[in-house]
Structure 1
Amino acid sequence: MTPAPAILILAAGASSRMGEADKLLMKLDGVPCLRIMAERAVATGMRVLVTVPADRPAREAALSGLSVTIVPVRDAAGGMGRSIAAGVSALPRDVTGVIIQPADMPEITTLDLQLFAKAHEAHPNRIWRAITETGSPGHPVLFPAALFSALTALRGDEGARSVIQNHENNLQGITLGGERARLDLDTPEAWERYLSDRLR
């Protein structure tokens, strides 16, 4: 059987650095960033799950009509680790890996995500992590099914850093062009710069 990963989009964060705005509902060409990221994930043909906080119904509404599984995170305030744990716990049993992708990285494309699926097909037991052209680690990150139990035990706001550190000997990078593996937009200033640059 061909190894088949799923995509887990993390969209349960508090968006606390954005003030009154919600970074995941900021619009690109009139479409909320969260929906764009979900559409790109769905276009890969892989199964897609999206974690959302229980207190932000507008995020779930932004995904209306898309073929994604919504995963409410009741304890989202406990940090990214809880979001990852909830999402991984909801994965279908037959998937052989999970591509974890934060929802505030609008430069990540469908083709980028498909690169991870191809790498997983060739080496299904490895951790695959996106890196920039200069070698800096970023997202997405693909974890094999053997690490699902470690992911569901995560707490706090460091994400899956501890899982990666504990299995560095099994980690391999996938280079994505430019800096897009690290470009996340979580402040009004970052969004302003990004939207301004897109108009040039």
Structure 2
Amino acid sequence: MSPPVGLVLLAAGRGTRFGPAPKLLAPLDGVPLVRHAAEAALRAGIGPVVAVLGHAEEAVRAALAGLDLVLVRNPAYAQGLSTSLRAGLAALPEAAEGAMILLGDMPRVPPALLAGLAAAFAGTDAAVVPVCAGRRGNPVLLNRRRLAAELAALTGDRGAGPLLAGRRDVREWPVEEAGILLDVDTPETLAGLARSPNAPL
């Protein structure tokens, strides 16, 4: 049986490369980017989903209205990704050994992939990372207990990726789903994704 897993949706960042408008509120297929990620997390049926809010908090909160999420405010979001990651981890139930870290600007990660990632977590040491075409992607699934010291020491705009780089106790999980590599940083990439939903950005 797989250990219990909670999910952390990082939705606090400013997304400065996208321009002045809040990136996570930009519509794709008529739905805000952040809601795509949140709905996929809930449909996966893995465990509780914590959404960390910061930039444009009220507008992002409204975009997530009606979803069964635990909403956490990160007043220190401007200090970098690490602050949101720690805020989300702190809000997970103590029993959740695994923490799946979802990014709010990745709208093409399907629920089935999230469920498969959770199943792959059983028996791992530090983390499970999906890999497509030889490239590591997101989300990643962290063993909270084994990585507790490293996670507590994160500062600035650093997330789980740099923390896992070069470690020998990370399990790479091969997938064919290109959505793990598709993050939206600019209006141009969003427009390209709308035209070609499965094309690499």
Please give the TM-score of this superposition, normalised by the length of structure 2: 0.90
Deviations 1:19-39 (A, max 9, x none): 122221111222111112111
Aligned residues: 197
Q: Distance in 1 between matches of 2:102 and 2:36?
A: 13
Counterpart contact for 1:88–1:148, Cα < 8 Å: no
Corresponding residue for 2:192? Answer: 193
1:1-200 correspondence runs (5 A): 2-45=2-45, 46-53=47-54, 55-121=56-122, 123-132=123-132, 134-146=133-145, 147-165=147-165, 168-198=167-197
1:124 positional shift: 4.5
Counterpart contact for 1:128–1:142, Cα < 8 Å: yes
Q: Distance in 2 between matches of 1:190 and 1:162?
A: 24
Structure 1 moving runs of 4+ over 6 Å = none
1:178 positional shift: 4.8
Q: Distance in 1 between matches of 2:195 and 2:44?
A: 29
Q: Distance in 1 between matches of 2:182 and 2:29?
A: 18
Counterpart contact for 1:80–1:157, Cα < 8 Å: yes
Deviations 1:75-97 (A, max 9, x none): 10111111111111111111111
Aligned partner of 1:141: which letter? V
Deviations 1:32-71 (A, max 9, x none): 1111211110112221011110643100111111111111
Greater alpha carbon shift after TM alignment, 46-55 vs 157-166: 157-166
Kindly, what percent of the aligned residue pairs are identical?
33
Greater alpha carbon shift after TM alignment, 57-66 vs 173-182: 173-182
Aligned partner of 1:135: which letter? G
Q: RMSD in angstroms over aligned alpha carbons?
A: 2.0
Aligned partner of 1:102: which letter? L
Counterpart contact for 2:7–2:50, Cα < 8 Å: yes
Aligned partner of 2:33: which letter? C
Counterpart contact for 1:50–1:71, Cα < 8 Å: yes
Greater alpha carbon shift after TM alignment, 148-157 vs 100-109: 148-157
Please give the TM-score of this superposition, normalised by the length of structure 1: 0.90
Task: Mark the CA change 1:26 to 1:176 in structure 2 (over 3 Å): closer, same or farther.
Answer: farther
Q: Which runs of 5+ in 2 are unaligned?
A: none
1:136 positional shift: 0.8
Deviations 1:142-200 (A, max 9, x none): 1112213422332111212343137x1110111232532221001111111111224x9
